[in-house]
Every structure is written in structure tokens, then in C-alpha cells.
Amino acid sequence: MAVTDKTDNASLFHRLSDLFNRKLAEAAPGFAQDRAKVDSLKHLLQSSQDDTAKVKHESPVFMLLIMVAVAAVLVPLHHRLEHWITHKLVEKNVRIRLAAAKRTIQQLEGSPGVVVSSDGSDAKQEH
């Protein structure tokens, strides 16, 4: 199956190349003298595509190295992000619980003059 896919891709490339050549000849007839430059550029593009395909599809070691590099970045990033988020959530929970505890103490002591905001800061209320 992989051989037919490569064959189909190659035939598609050649058909597109022929179409490009015809359109180029129609649009710029004076460009035909630089035909060698165009052909060398097409050959260079095709060879670089083939080399890239060989490296990606025929080298499991290269693919393994890429996956190891990605994992080497993602694992520490995930670890640090998880700890940072946990720290922020615990910090927020402590502020909320502290504010609730202050409100409870005020209600039990019966001092209605102080209002505690949800972030834990005290604010005097005047009557």
C-alpha cells in the first residue's frame, strides 16, 4: 500500500509539473530560455521532498528521538504547572476560609461594626 501511495504522489507531482510548465509557457513565452533553471529548481524541490520523507518514514530512531525531546519538555512543564495551580487554589481556599472564620468570630463576639470582605481584608463600617 505504501508503494502505491508513493507512486500516486509521484504521478500527481509530475502531472502538476507538466501543467505548471504549460501555463508558464503560455504566460511568459520569453521564459523558455531559462528552462534549465526551472528544471533544476523542480529537481531540487523533488529531491528535498524525497529526503524528508525518507527521514520521517524510514527512521524509527529519529522518530524516537523526536518523541523523547517532546516528552523532555512536556513532563517538567506539566509538573511545574500542576504544582503552581495547586498552590494558587490552596492559597485562595485559605483566604476564603480565613474570611469565613473571621466573620464567624465577629458574629459570636457580637461586634457588628467590622465587615470582612471575601479576600480577608477588614473594612470599618460606619453607622
Query: Do 20 and 35 contact (CB within 8 A), yes or no?
Result: no
Q: Which residues contact 24 (CB under 8 A, 6 or more apart)?
A: 31, 38
Structural domain total, the chain: 1
Query: Do 116 and 102 contact (CB within 8 A), yes or no?
Result: yes
Q: Which range of residues forms the domain containing residue 34? A: 1-58
Q: Does residue 65 register a pLDDT over 70?
A: yes
Residue 95 has what pLDDT? 96
Give tens-digit pLDDT for 68-124: 999 999 999 999 999 999 999 999 999 999 999 999 999 998 865 555 555 655 555
Is the whole model's pTM more than 0.85, yes or no?
no
Give tens-digit pLDDT for 24-64: 667 666 655 566 666 776 776 776 666 665 656 667 888 88
Q: Report if residue 37 sits inside a domain.
A: yes
Q: Report if residue 12 sits inside a domain.
A: yes
DSSP per-residue string spanning 69-84: HHHHHHHHHHHHHHHH
Residue 36 has what pLDDT? 64
Residue 100 has what pLDDT? 95
Q: Report if residue 75 sits inside a domain.
A: no
Residue 1 has what pLDDT? 45
Q: Report if residue 126 sits inside a domain.
A: no
How many angstroms separate the CA atoms of 118 and 97, rounded? Answer: 9
Q: Report if residue 95 sits inside a domain.
A: no
Q: Report if residue 73 sits inside a domain.
A: no
CA angle 4, 9, 15 (to 5 degrees): 125
**Which grid cell sits at 70?**
517532546
